[in-house]
Amino acid sequence: MAAASLALALGCAPAPAWTAAAIEGFTAGGQFREQVRSFKFEPGVSVLMVAPPAGAFDPQRPTTLVIYALPNGNTTEETMGKAPGPGVGWRFDIQHIGAQTRVLRAATSDRNLVVAYLENDQKSWPSWRKAHQDSGALMVAILEKLKAALPGPAPEVCLTGHSGGGSFIFGYIDAVETIPASVSRIAFLDSNYPFDAAAGHSAKLIRWLRGDSFRRLIVLAYDDRNIELNGKKVVSETGGTYRATLRMIEAFRPDMPLEEGRAGSYLRFSAPQVEMLIHPNPENLVLHTALVGERNGFIYALTAGVSPRASWQKSLASLEGPRAYTGWIERPAPARMAPPDPAIPPRPADARGGVAFIEAVKNLEREAREAAILRELLRGNIPGHLRRLVPVTVKARAIDGAEHTAVFEAMPDYLAIGSDGDYVRMPMNPHTAQAFCDAFGFVLPTPKMADDIWRQAVSKIVPQPLTEERESPLTFLRHHRLIEEQIAGQYLGELRAGHKKDVVITNRLKERPSRLAIYGWHFPSGQPIQPLTIVHADWYVDYSHGIRPVKKTIKVDGVDLPYQQVLQDPHLHPLLSDEGVIDPARYPSPQSR
């Protein structure tokens, strides 16, 4: 039986150590240093295969090879995506398959994920197939050569594509008597136009699904019957993916009944190995590319229906949006950086790096470790990128009905010890964190502020839970390194969230003395792992806790106001709190408890 297709598992143990080496024939490039290789096939087919960086591709692990057939009119570079900017056309900002792939890689350590982008010289797979009578045999040969290009065990294959890319998938299905066992997943991203039961498509798909319980068929579509462009209907009276999906449903029902239901705003037709989703499109919008890019369709299609069903997969990316992959988009380095916060002293020349600090405190008792952390922070031993605060803008309607705007400045990442080249995100108890904040004009955020920071973060990281020795400084370091591995290629100083639980200020701290309040650890979809809780005593610290200092002066409607004043104001507090007025808005010093 084949292994589960892209069986992503959050929190799984890192793969065993191995020797990092480039894949033969591949070269490294781009912001994320991915390994790439170009192929040319006659007539007129080019393929760009993109693998993880050399340090992240393990030939001993299983590999999933995603065959992504390009949509009509797009180049490979446009399909992979880039951030908008001078000389970057709009087509680069609609699919972002490259960025969505990086999110998927960040969420798994049990397999290699490789994507092969298939393009043809007519920029249309339907046109290319019509031009070449032997197109089916060519497609089969192309796939076999791509599979053979990767080291290690033979890869599982996922066939997918957008728009006219569905023509490639059906052309391949037409060309084979039986869909090969190596194909573990087929996903149509608003691309199943050519489906034809009379051509044997449903019979082959059902036979393929029944051959292995781990195989999956995913279909994403929307009601496109009445959409218009320049005042004219886009699809014919018999065309479009809405009608094609209904044809698939009817063709499957005699042999594989599909249960009808809802999945958010989508109509859902499902069986244990099948998921067909149709957006009803009540506003009659053109959702053709939005399903793939804005609504994270590629991520969803590669994780939906993992067996056993993983409850977290919809937390990885929601088909309702927003984009779950912003931090993984290829983009130029930030051109402008905020000036460093002047309140924090310069980092001493003799300050230890983060790894050396962990080594120094790993055997200390809890109180001695906290004292050592505070000494380093007060002498300015924090990396440079944390000194450049990032503005977060929020709006709220006050009790009197007036709308207000606030801007607070937050550290771009969680508080750390060390330099930009050698730092470790440092969990600490709330009193140590409060002492740092008091010394340099910072405060700790509320749960609402943690949510607002996550919403505006450029980089939304996939959480990496651990289970063993949670309170050990060596686990602090291990978790930090897991985070660094998955954000490799992202820029220091960008607003980043999702990788820690926030130590927060809340009214619930009044319920019991000497408690710790934590909240958050958001999935890329925005769903937090940790609801607001005060279950732990205030001395408790584990690897998952993060300290996000926020400047204590908040700009409200253009006027600077103290943080505590805003939280205590009967009209303004909704800007920073969703639990009413908060007073006091701090942790007490240990001496005052």
Q: Is 354 left (phi over 0), alpha (psi -120 to 50) or beta?
A: alpha
Q: What is the DSSP letter of 401?
A: S
Where does the pLDDT of residue 554 fall: very low under 50, low under 70, confident under 90, or very high at 90 and above?
very high
231 in a structural domain: no
257: pLDDT strictly greater than 50: yes
- 353 vs 197: CA distance, rounded Å: 64
Where does the pLDDT of residue 336 fall: very low under 50, low under 70, confident under 90, or very high at 90 and above?
low
21: pLDDT strictly greater than 60: yes
**DSSP-assigned states of every residue in 150-175:** S-SSPPEEEEEEETTHHHHHHHHHHH
307 and 161 assigned to the same domain: yes
| 23, 28, 34, 37: CA torsion to nearest 10 | -60
Query: Residue 310 has what pLDDT?
Result: 43
5 in a structural domain: no
315 and 451 assigned to the same domain: no
CB atoms within 10 A of CB 123: 15
Q: Which of 276, 310, 328 is the last residue of a domain?
A: 328
Among the listed residues 377, 381, 405, 380, the one whose alpha carbon sits nearest the alpha carbon of residue 391: 405
Q: Which of 328, 363, 392 is the last residue of a domain?
A: 328
CB atoms within 10 A of CB 584: 12
Burial (0-12, 13-18, 19+ Cβ within 10 Å), 21: exposed
Query: Residue 474 has what pLDDT?
Result: 98
Mean pLDDT across 221-233: 90
CA distances, 62 to each of 7, 208, 578 (Å): 11, 21, 46
The answer to whether residues 241 and 184 touch, using CB atoms and an 8 Å cutoff, is no
390 and 300 assigned to the same domain: no
Contacts (Cβ under 8 Å, ≥6 apart) of 366: 539, 541
Bridge partners, 192 (sequence order): none
Higher pLDDT, residue 304 or 428: 428
- 32 vs 60: CA distance, rounded Å: 22
Percent of the chain with pLDDT over 70: 94
19: pLDDT strictly greater than 80: no
- 364 vs 370: CA distance, rounded Å: 9
Query: Residue 110 has what pLDDT?
Result: 84
Mean pLDDT across 514-533: 93
CB atoms within 10 A of CB 364: 14
179 in a structural domain: yes
Residue 268 in tokens = 């859902």
Query: Residue 590 has what pLDDT?
Result: 63
Q: What is the pLDDT of residues 468-521, one digit of tens each?
A: 999 999 999 999 999 999 899 999 999 999 999 999 999 999 998 899 999 999
14: pLDDT strictly greater than 50: no
Bridge partners, 222 (sequence order): 279
155: pLDDT strictly greater than 80: yes
Dihedrals φ, ψ of 271, to 5°? -135, 175
Query: Residue 211 has what pLDDT?
Result: 96
From 130-134, 203-207, 335-339, 440-444, the region with the lowest mean pLDDT: 335-339
Q: Which of 262, 294, 328 is the last residue of a domain?
A: 328
Q: What is the DSSP letter of 483?
A: H
- Rounded to 5°, the CA angle 120-123-129 comes to 60
Q: What is the pLDDT of residues 91-112, one digit of tens each?
A: 999 999 999 999 999 888 789 9
269 in a structural domain: no
Long-range contacts of 487-490 (CB under 8 A, 24+ apart): 487/106, 487/327, 487/459, 487/461, 488/32, 488/33, 488/53, 488/56, 489/30, 489/31, 489/32, 489/33, 489/102, 490/327, 490/328, 490/459
Query: Residue 1 has what pLDDT?
Result: 29
- 527 vs 498: CA distance, rounded Å: 10
Q: What is the mean pLDDT of the chain?
A: 91
434 and 309 assigned to the same domain: no
Count how many Cα atoms sit within 13 Å of the Cα of residue 41 in the half-sphere of its side chain: 20
Radius of gyration of the chain (CA): 26
324 and 421 assigned to the same domain: no
Long-range contacts of 228-237 (CB under 8 A, 24+ apart): 228/284, 229/286, 234/286
Grouping H, G, I as helix, E, B as strand and the rest as coil, residue 343 is coil
Residues in the chain: 593
274 in a structural domain: no
15: pLDDT strictly greater than 60: no
Residue 494 in tokens = 């960008």
12: pLDDT strictly greater than 90: no
451 and 582 assigned to the same domain: yes
539 and 430 assigned to the same domain: yes
- 248 vs 169: CA distance, rounded Å: 15
- 528 vs 507: CA distance, rounded Å: 19
Q: What is the DSSP letter of 547?
A: -
Sign of the Cα torsion 54, 59, 63, 66 reads positive
Which run of H or E residues covers position 279?
strand 274-279
Which run of H or E residues covers position 565?
helix 563-568
- 583 vs 20: CA distance, rounded Å: 53
252 in a structural domain: no
Alpha carbon 192 to chain centroid, angstroms: 26
360 and 496 assigned to the same domain: yes
What is the extent of the structural domain holding 480?
354-592
Mean pLDDT across 163-167: 97
From 138-152, 173-187, 222-236, 404-418, the region with the lowest mean pLDDT: 222-236
Bridge partners, 404 (sequence order): 396
Query: Residue 358 has what pLDDT?
Result: 98
- Rounded to 5°, the CA angle 206-209-214 comes to 165
456 in a structural domain: yes
307: pLDDT strictly greater than 70: no
518 and 560 assigned to the same domain: yes
Mean pLDDT across 391-416: 94
Among the listed residues 506, 535, 503, 536, the one whose alpha carbon sits nearest the alpha carbon of residue 519: 503
Cis peptide preceding 254, ω within 30 of 0:
no
For position 292, which CATH number holds? Answer: 3.40.50
Where does the pLDDT of residue 314 fall: very low under 50, low under 70, confident under 90, or very high at 90 and above?
low
CB atoms within 10 A of CB 321: 14
146 and 186 assigned to the same domain: yes
Query: Residue 108 has what pLDDT?
Result: 83
- 175 vs 155: CA distance, rounded Å: 21
**In one letter, which amino acid is 257?**
P
Among the listed residues 394, 2, 439, 437, the one whose alpha carbon sits nearest the alpha carbon of residue 185: 2
Residue 382 in tokens = 């924090």
- 70 vs 125: CA distance, rounded Å: 8
Pairing of strands 156-162, 112-120: unpaired
Query: Residue 4 has what pLDDT?
Result: 34
185: pLDDT strictly greater than 50: yes
Among the listed residues 90, 104, 54, 94, the one whose alpha carbon sits nearest the alpha carbon of residue 70: 94
Query: Residue 591 has what pLDDT?
Result: 59
What's the number of domains the chain is made of? 2
438 and 533 assigned to the same domain: yes
Query: Residue 20 has what pLDDT?
Result: 52
**DSSP-assigned states of every residue in 202-228:** HHHHHHHHHT-TT-EEEEEEE--TT-E
Sign of the Cα torsion 463, 464, 466, 470 reads negative
- 375 vs 65: CA distance, rounded Å: 50
153 in a structural domain: yes
Residue 84 in tokens = 């908008």
141 and 288 assigned to the same domain: yes
